[in-house]
Structure 1
Amino acid sequence: KAEKLKPEATRNFLENAFQQGEIKTAGTDIDSMMPPVSRFTKNNKREEKKMGIIDRLKAFFEKYFGIGGNRSFFSKKEE
């Protein structure tokens, strides 16, 4: 909530991170969950905001990854 991220995109990103065992910062996944920020502002505030979001996501991931053992963080139907 503090970063005003899009809830569904953030949940999907974190679910994938926990399944893959890492936070991936390349690509457009982080941008897709960010609130609208002008790319043309002085001092590139968008990039600063993105780096802050990445830091918070990494801290969350490191705090909770591995707590559930080998099971997925989000429950899935077993085959």
Structure 2
Amino acid sequence: MTTAFVSSKGQITIPVEVRATLGLSPGDRVEFVEFEVGQFAIKAATYSVHSLKGMIRKPTVAVSIEDMNAAIAAKGADAR
């Protein structure tokens, strides 16, 4: 069993084994889920696709399918 201590500010350091198992990196969020009275599980907070809305701006000029295909073909020709 892995344990952690609560600081005077209410903070804990998640042990390295737990971080590795959950795939956590600095800046990630975690959730505490109560599954029985007085018992919690910790899990990595995952985001839904809806949370991605607005991350990429819309282009100011629409690009046609033909232009996209031409750009792909040109880039492919450059790679050879």
Name the TM-score, length of structure 1 as normaliser. Answer: 0.22
Greater RCO, CA 8 A, separation 6+: 1
Q: Which has the higher strand share?
A: 2
